Structure 1
Amino acid sequence: MGDSVRAMSAQTVLKPQEPPFDPERVAYLEAAGWRAYYDRNWPAVFGLMVQMNREQFRMALPTAVVAAIDIVRASIAFAPVDNDVPGATAHLQRFYEKARRARGLQADAHTLAALEVDYWVVHRRLALERKQAPNHTGDIEPMVASLARLHAALFDAPPEAIRRSAEQRADAAARVDRITGGYSTDVAEDWRQVEAHLREAYGSLR
């Protein structure tokens, strides 16, 4: 997963019979997915993404398994320094074809995949910039904007909720970057804050 997850500007309509996802559960799975991604623990990423697909997108188990394979393949393609962005995008498009059918998303899979990859690319660029900065600070607004476009395509929520969720997920990503960049002063606390920001992000979308 690493960054495996969500974006856009067209509105999303969830199937009315589907209950909303549990923000705490999704936050836990995403935080755990980040840990597994940066450890390059692909079996763990796979297992967590099966659970995420079931929880957030309400996929049937067989679909969730195949969709998790798409995410793992996208993550493996994107992970190296000399990464394969077109390959990652193709895998994400296959994932979003399944997600939009399961969750009744209006945005097309091609657009969703492009928005997701944009977030991944922006996140990596900003993480490297902050790591190299003397005080490890930097502007994360480009990541907020990228996530806001993604969330607008994935969630049927008011603009202020979309913005709030994007800000909180960007803050979570910045906390992860402190850990992976080697400049965290309290790794355990930063991981706790990652999950807390994600709970706020997904809670604001309900």
Structure 2
Amino acid sequence: METFTPKPSSIRRSKLSSWFGWAALLVLLIWIIVDLYVPRKNSLRQFDPKEVAQLETAMWRSYYEKKPVLLFWQLAKGLRQQFHAPFWRSFKLGFQASKAAFDFKKGRSRADYQHTIPDLRSYYESIKELSTESFDVSKVADLELEWWIVHRQRERYSYTDLANALVQTSAALYNQPATSFTTYGRFRADAMHLCDDVRHHPGGATEADWQQINEKLLEAWRALHSVVQVDHQ
């Protein structure tokens, strides 16, 4: 039987292909390490209100239509848009935020909800590492949880209470007077109110409903963007 002997040129091509494969893997690993661990800071005040509003609308829709994988990808994209998270770090942040949200979802009392605080603090500590602005991580995490509770317990709190809770969270994050965020809080609470209402319609929310929700969120994010830009100058 004749034995097949690879030609030298075939061996060289195989080695070259293997070398390129290992080189690509090394480049990918370096990118991931740099992305995750090299310090990088941007201003939390720089974002596109229209893009953030559209993405938040899509995230709400994915959440209520029970599409967790899509929601996770959208959340990571939102973190890159709103907080300038690097690509791989956005998934780390997305995991931290998702874990806090789903732990909260399982809760039934304020004591249960408090168990999300460590995850929220880790999340906001990661946000602070990306930010040129400083803020009190514990305070912002506590206020974030508070508006989650206010929105969850709608039989106990009003949408005015929700708007006020949103105002306090933004004021703490941006270190600005709470009165500056009144319009933002009202519009964002209005968007949540509308979303809560239309989800319970026969057949659920329509495309027109989601468009209305997006318009409310756009007004909210435009108001926030205007405030953080003007007061920072």
Q: Which residue of 1 is the match for residue 140 of structure 2?
A: 112
Work out the number of aligned pairs and report it.
Answer: 183
Unaligned 5+ segments in structure 1 are 1-13, 131-137
Q: Greater share of helix residues, 1 or 2? A: 2
The Cα of 1:82 is off from its aligned counterpart by 3.1
Flag the 1:184–1:195 CA change in 2: closer, same or farther, 3 A: farther
Q: Which residue of 1 is the match for residue 106 of structure 2?
A: 80
**Quick check: 1:50–1:67 contact (8 Å CA) kept in 2?**
yes
Q: Which residue of 2 is the match for residue 33 of structure 1?
A: 59
Flag the 1:69–1:21 CA change in 2: closer, same or farther, 3 A: same
Correspondences of 1:18-167 after superposition (within 5 Å): 20-80=46-106, 82=108, 84-126=112-154, 129=155, 139-155=158-174, 160-167=179-186
Flag the 1:156–1:22 CA change in 2: closer, same or farther, 3 A: farther
Distance in 2 (alpha carbons) for counterparts of 1:147 and 1:102? 22
The two structures have a TM-score, normalised by structure 1, of: 0.78
DSSP 3-state at the match of 2:108: coil
Deviations 1:15-43 (A, max 9, x none): 56x77100011111111111222233221
Correspondences of 1:184-199 after superposition (within 5 Å): 187-199=206-218
Identity of aligned residues (%): 27
**Quick check: 1:54–1:61 contact (8 Å CA) kept in 2?**
yes
Distance in 2 (alpha carbons) for counterparts of 1:160 and 1:114? 19
Q: CA RMSD in A?
A: 2.6
**Quick check: 2:191–2:213 contact (8 Å CA) kept in 1?**
yes
The two structures have a TM-score, normalised by structure 2, of: 0.69
Deviations 1:93-133 (A, max 9, x none): 1111111121234222221111111111101112xx39xxx
Q: Which amino acid aligns with 1:54?
A: R
Q: Which amino acid aligns with 1:34?
A: W
Structure of greater relative contact order (alpha carbons < 8 Å, 6+ residues apart): 1
Distance in 2 (alpha carbons) for counterparts of 1:71 and 1:52? 12
Unaligned 5+ segments in structure 2 are 1-40, 226-233
Q: Which residue of 2 is the match for residue 4 of structure 1?
A: none
**Quick check: 1:63–1:98 contact (8 Å CA) kept in 2?**
no
